[in-house]
Amino acid sequence: MSNGPALRIRSDLETVAPYISPQHTAKYRMNVNEAPYAPPVALVEEVTRGTEAIALNRYPDRDAVKLVDAIAAHTGWAKEGLWVANGSNEVFMHLFLAFGGPGRSSLTFEPTYSLHSLIPRIAGTRTVQVQRDIDFRIDLEAALDTIQEEKPDIVIVCSPNNPTGGCESLATIQALLEAAPGLVIVDEAYGEFDQHEHSARGLLETHPNLAITKTFSKAWRLAGVRIGYMLAAPSLVRELARVRLPYHLSTITQLVGVAAIKHAGETLDMVRSIASERDRIATELAALGLKVFPSNANFVLFEVEDPDLIWSRLLEREVLVRNYSGQEGLERCLRVTAGLPEETDAFIAAMKEALDG
Ligand code: PMP
């Protein structure tokens, strides 16, 4: 190949590490918070039938009208206040392209979902991080001080928080909404697994600077399809149309989303059982004498003396969990995704052996 011009990436991206969630083969894959259950047969059949009727030579419906209408009916939130994209990650990208970008800043509460800092950086936004308190809740005093000092254009709250599992109180979210000079995103990707009603949904009506993001990747068992959505004020939604690519949601994606909502009852049926496996994991780990962080999501974060060693001993026993020991504030932490009862059994049995050496 001939020598072309030296290509140099944007200088502000030189220190950005690509997102990686290490993949290994294992019988029990409990590392990425997916659902272990395939979607219901009735949904899959509906998608199969619908796919045959699609004109694949045509572009999709640019505004995904049927899907937006279905989500509006399911959530009870007006369609003008809904935005749909390829996973909630793409919703974040749209929000940062429209409301972040050069000369602007965003605030996260660490440790949290790494994409909440990675996506703004890709969009050229300066990121500010405040550490959570000892229980991994938002330290409201530190948060309000930072908001006053930095005046972030976007504040992101993850509730339930990944990877720590807990939810923020509505009082905390309300205080952030009232102090923030701009947008507050509340990421409720795991909200369906929270049985204690922490959703910020009730604050939408009164706070036009609130955007709640949700996903079909967890409770809806459709991580492979890539659907996420946002509930917000119509004025906020209108701005996002400026930054999305034309025809961003494929016809097949839209079809699956509509079918999922039609079969919502059956699709979401496993949420309760996954939440009870989560509670069983937490109880069993605590019985082994480990520190376990209370979770409202479909995973459990816990501490061990030597996370690298325990992680590899689990993998030797075909159980794959997520090792967070490289991340600040999580030096002794592993995270395990809750799913099938037999996965819980295999994980706990492997943990007992791993701890015994
Ligand atoms: N938010 C949180 C907190 C997550 O953990 C994830 C997935 N790991 C997402 C958003 C992204 O989900 P998706 O893009 O699949 O909707």
At residue 1, the pLDDT reads 65
Pocket test for ligand 1, best of 161, 215, 221, 256 (most atoms within 8 A of CB): 215
DSSP string across 24-49: ---SEE-SS---SSPPPHHHHHHHHH
Lining ligand 1 with CB less than 6 A are 33, 87-89, 113, 158, 162, 187, 189, 215, 217, 223, 228
How close is the Cα of 199 to the center of ligand 1, in Å?
16
pTM of the model: 0.97
Nearest-CA residue for atom 2 of ligand 1: 189
Pocket test for ligand 1, best of 19, 20, 34, 89 (most atoms within 8 A of CB): 89
How close is the Cα of 297 to the center of ligand 1, in Å?
12
How does pLDDT run across 317-344, given as a tens digit for each residue? Answer: 999 999 999 999 999 999 999 999 999 9
Pocket test for ligand 1, best of 94, 113, 167 (most atoms within 8 A of CB): 113
Q: Where are the alpha helices (DSSP H) in 180-299?
A: 234-240, 251-262, 264-267, 271-287
The residue written with tokens 């496996």 in the block is 277
Residues 6+ apart with CB under 8 A from 123: 93, 96, 97, 100, 101
Tokens of 356: 């015994």
Number of C-alpha atoms within 13 angstroms, CB side, residue 353?
14
21: left (phi over 0), alpha (psi -120 to 50) or beta: beta
At residue 197, the pLDDT reads 84
Give the phi and the psi of residue 168 in degrees, each rounded to 5: -90, 150
Percent helix, strand and coil across the chain, each to the nearest 5 = 40, 15, 45
How does pLDDT run across 79-121, given as a tens digit for each residue? Answer: 999 999 999 999 999 999 999 999 999 999 999 999 999 999 9
Q: Which of 297, 300, 288, 296 is nearest to 324 (CA)?
A: 300
Q: Could you tell me what percent of the chain has a pLDDT over 70? A: 100
Residues 6+ apart with CB under 8 A from 132: 109, 110, 111, 112, 138, 139, 161, 164, 329
How does pLDDT run across 24-79, given as a tens digit for each residue? Answer: 999 999 999 999 999 999 999 999 999 999 999 999 999 999 999 999 999 999 99
How does pLDDT run across 186-228, given as a tens digit for each residue? Answer: 999 999 999 888 999 999 999 999 999 999 999 999 999 999 9
Q: What sign does the dihedral 141-142-146-147 (CA atoms) show?
A: negative
